Amino acid sequence: MDGQISWRVRHVWGRNLQVFLRTWKVSFLPPLFDSLFFLIALGYGLGQFVQEIDGVGYARFVAPAIVAIGIMNASYFETTYGSFVRMYYQKTFDALIATPITIEEVIVGEILWGATKAVIYTALILPLLAVFGVISLPDSLLLIPLALLGGLLFGAIGLCFTAWTPSIDTLSYPQFLFITPMMVLSGTFFPIESLPLPVQYVAYAVMPLAHIVSLARALTLPAAAPFALVSLAWLVVATGLVMFIAVRQMRRRLVV
Amino acid sequence: MTQPAILAEGLEKRFGALVAVDRCSFVVNEGEVFGFLGPNGAGKTSTMRMIACVSPKTGGRLEVFGLDVNERPREIKAMIGVVSQENNLDPDLSVYDNLVVFARFFELDRAEAARRADELIEFFGLGEKRDTVIEVLSGGMKRRLTIARALINRPRLVILDEPTTGLDPQARALIWERLRTLRDRGSTILLSTHYLEEAERFCDRLVIMDNGKILIEGRPDEIVSSRMGRAVIETVDDPAVLACLAREGIAYERFGDLVHITTNSPEPLIQRLVSSCNPSRLSVRNATLEDVFLRLTGRGLKD
């Protein structure tokens, strides 16, 4: 039963896609509205009282961060609440591992699906933001590969919490202890440089969103981004590491 | 001698200090219907999960079609179909989609998957519900679909954990009827059930388990005749009758307000009872697997 991962992963992903294609009409709209509300409230409402940052208006400053938050939410919620429902209530994983598919393939397939949700979200929100004039196309299309990377990372993070949580109720703990602070402190709504230096270090050390936000800005705004490659490397290494942990932890939970 | 479908030797499963399966040995031959009987917590499900390669064994030897479960789980899983106790269908998908999505996990191509799905829908009488989302199906239909789904890869071995539990008699009859067809086509069937009468009729051989151990193994009729004799005489639990039985030297068991006397030749015994003990009520019936089951596993509640 040792780690076996093959191209059968695509069947796990395909199963989720098939269900999504059946229910997409109800599930794809909320995240888009979420982002647009943030853009209106912050970019246009609050933005009237905020000076330009790095030579751009506030709406253009928060737009890439709103996409970054959307990437995080799309994948993280898919592999926490979505995966937990499949694992615990629908027993989907039990059905899958009764076939030639291994538990490792189930886990990797779930993470890939989480990342796919982030990519779908990004592909849909970009033209909307372009209509509002807060990002420019086609330059910003590079946010789509970023969504894949960020989606893999947050998908894997979500699955770790799914492996550890005793019930669906306790999934709210990582949300308000990890996701919410990250959403507001990762240089999303104000430049991370305005935080005290030690807090900045902590933010870059433990908050994946901080790296995604800074990369998203580097890809959409003209401002110089000296640490973009560092952020990219951080994300790649973290994604590999957390995926490894997610597979191990889920195996511990499910193989009994 | 041909290779057995399942070979278990000293098979063991422990969860920490709890021993769920305690050094069990058994052989299931190809083409046989083999039953696991036992009270809740006896170790039936744990044994079946190890055979299905979803739960690693703690010790002992376990082979399915000659392949070791630890070394070749993927190949074994390709040859078996599993119906677990809990419904794990995809609630968002239709009957048909549940089958074709599952077919992909076995690498069946699209055309073959479609053909088998329609065949199975027909076989299990689900034609009218083909495109219905399964959430709205009755319990019996869901169960039929779960069994249909387990057959999508044309398995050599079908493992069913309590396939008829919680269903009405009509739904149960239909499921047994379909399983019988499957058996006649040569599939090996491994199942657990709490319906002892059904097990007695349907299983070629069976084991009764309790506390992780196999208590008895054999053909249902042989188990009954060797353990109980042919018949059970039931009479009232009355002090005068008990005293009389003791006086006559007739062995008996007390079950609630009844007294059971097991025997191979009921007629002379009944005459003796009527003439010497004169009980207010007396009846005789065939001994059943349930009698053996209760004698072996006790009458106390198990959980």
- pLDDT 10s digits, B47-72: 999 999 999 999 999 999 999 999 99
- Are B285 and B234 contacting, i.e. CB atoms less than 8 angstroms apart? yes
Instruction: Indicate where chain B has its CATH 3.40.50.300 domain(s).
Output: 6-224
Q: DSSP character for B191? A: E
Of B78, B84, B102, the CB nearest to A94: B84
Check A19 against B93: CB less than 8 A apart: yes
- Contacts with B, A 40-99, CB within 8 Å: 90-92, 94-99
User: What is the number of alpha carbons within 13 Å of residue A246 lying toward its C-beta?
Assistant: 30
Instruction: Report the CATH fold assignment for B230-286.
Output: Alpha-Beta Plaits (3.30.70)
User: Average of pLDDT values for A37-55?
Assistant: 89
Q: Which of B78, B59, B81 is nearest to B70 (CA)?
A: B59
Is the pLDDT score of B1 beyond 70?
A: no
Question: Measured between alpha carbons, how far is A229 from A136 in angstroms, rounded to an integer?
Answer: 22
pLDDT for res B303 = 58
Both tokens assigned to B23: 């050094």
- Contacts with B, A 95-134, CB within 8 Å: 95-102
Q: Is B82 near chain A, with CB under 8 Å?
A: yes
Q: Is A15 near chain B, with CB under 8 Å?
A: yes
Is the pLDDT score of A95 beyond 80?
A: yes
- Are A114 and A78 contacting, i.e. CB atoms less than 8 angstroms apart? yes
Is the pLDDT score of A8 beyond 70?
A: yes
Closest CA of chain B from A21, distance in Å: 10
**Kind and range of the H or E run holding A206:** helix A197-206
User: Average of pLDDT values for A171-187?
Assistant: 93
Look at B228 and B38; give whichever has higher pLDDT.
Answer: B38
User: Average of pLDDT values for B15-29?
Assistant: 95
Residue B12, CA distances (Å) to A7, A65, B76, B211 in order: 33, 54, 19, 12
Is the pLDDT score of A1 beyond 80?
A: no
User: Average of pLDDT values for A151-177?
Assistant: 95
Other CB atoms within 10 Å distance of the CB of residue A137: 11
Phi-psi group of B30: left, alpha or beta (phi > 0 → left; psi -120 to 50 → alpha; rest → beta): beta
Look at B278 and B302; give whichever has higher pLDDT.
Answer: B278
Closest CA of chain B from A174, distance in Å: 28
Confidence of residue B301 (pLDDT cuts 50, 70, 90): low
Which is it for strands B213-218 and B231-236: parallel, antiparallel or unpaired? unpaired
Other CB atoms within 10 Å distance of the CB of residue A256: 11
Other CB atoms within 10 Å distance of the CB of residue A85: 14
Is the pLDDT score of A47 beyond 80?
A: yes
Which chain B residues are closer than 8 Å to A98 by Cβ?
52, 54, 77, 82, 84
Is the pLDDT score of A217 beyond 60?
A: yes
Question: Measured between alpha carbons, how far is B188 from B207 in angstroms, rounded to an integer?
Answer: 16
The contacts of residue A41 (CB under 8 Å, 6+ apart) are none
Q: Which of A9-13, B119-123, B203-207, B272-276 has the lowest mean pLDDT?
A: B272-276
Question: Measured between alpha carbons, how far is B298 from B255 in angstroms, rounded to an integer?
Answer: 11
Is the pLDDT score of B223 beyond 90?
A: yes
Check A96 against B105: CB less than 8 A apart: yes
pLDDT for res B171 = 87
Closest CA of chain A from B18, distance in Å: 13
Both tokens assigned to A85: 């429902």
Instruction: Indicate where chain B has its CATH 3.30.70.260 domain(s).
Output: 230-286
Q: Which of B148, B222, B156, B218 is nearest to B185 (CA)?
A: B156
- Are B177 and B205 contacting, i.e. CB atoms less than 8 angstroms apart? no
Q: Is A4 near chain B, with CB under 8 Å?
A: yes
Closest CA of chain A from B201, distance in Å: 28
Question: Which residue is it, tokens 């409230």?
Answer: A41
The interface pTM score, or ipTM, of the predicted complex is: 0.87
pLDDT, one tens digit per residue, over A104-157 is 999 999 999 999 999 999 999 999 999 999 998 888 999 999 999 999 999 999
Closest CA of chain B from A4, distance in Å: 10
Q: Which among B54, B70, B110 is the top mutation candidate for probing chain A, defined by the most A β-carbons within 10 Å of its own β-carbon?
A: B54
pLDDT for res A2 = 44
Check A94 against B88: CB less than 8 A apart: yes
A vs B: CB pairs below 8 A = 69
Closest CA of chain A from B227, distance in Å: 36
- Are A155 and A111 contacting, i.e. CB atoms less than 8 angstroms apart? yes
**Kind and range of the H or E run holding A101:** none
Instruction: Report the CATH fold assignment for B6-224.
Output: Rossmann fold (3.40.50)
Q: Which among A99, A101, A255 is the top mutation candidate for probing chain B, defined by the most B β-carbons within 10 Å of its own β-carbon?
A: A99
Is the pLDDT score of A99 beyond 60?
A: yes
- Mean pLDDT for chain A overall: 92
Which chain B residues are closer than 8 Å to A256 by Cβ?
15, 55
Is the pLDDT score of A10 beyond 90?
A: yes
User: Average of pLDDT values for B30-34?
Assistant: 95
For B103, the closest chain A residue by CA position comes to A99
Closest CA of chain A from B49, distance in Å: 9
Both tokens assigned to A207: 């908050």
User: Average of pLDDT values for B80-86?
Assistant: 93
Both tokens assigned to B258: 């009844």
pLDDT for res B60 = 96
Q: Which among B55, B88, B149, B161 is the top mutation candidate for probing chain A, defined by the most A β-carbons within 10 Å of its own β-carbon?
A: B88
Check A255 against B106: CB less than 8 A apart: no
Q: DSSP character for A86? A: I
Q: What percent of chain B has pLDDT over 70?
A: 98
For A88, the closest chain B residue by CA position comes to B88
| Helix (H/G/I), strand (E/B), else coil: B214 | strand
Which chain A residues are closer than 8 Å to B135 by Cβ?
none
Q: DSSP character for A142? A: G
- Contacts with A, B 87-106, CB within 8 Å: 87-93, 97, 101-102, 104-106
pLDDT, one tens digit per residue, over B119-164 is 999 999 999 999 999 988 998 999 999 999 999 999 999 999 999 9
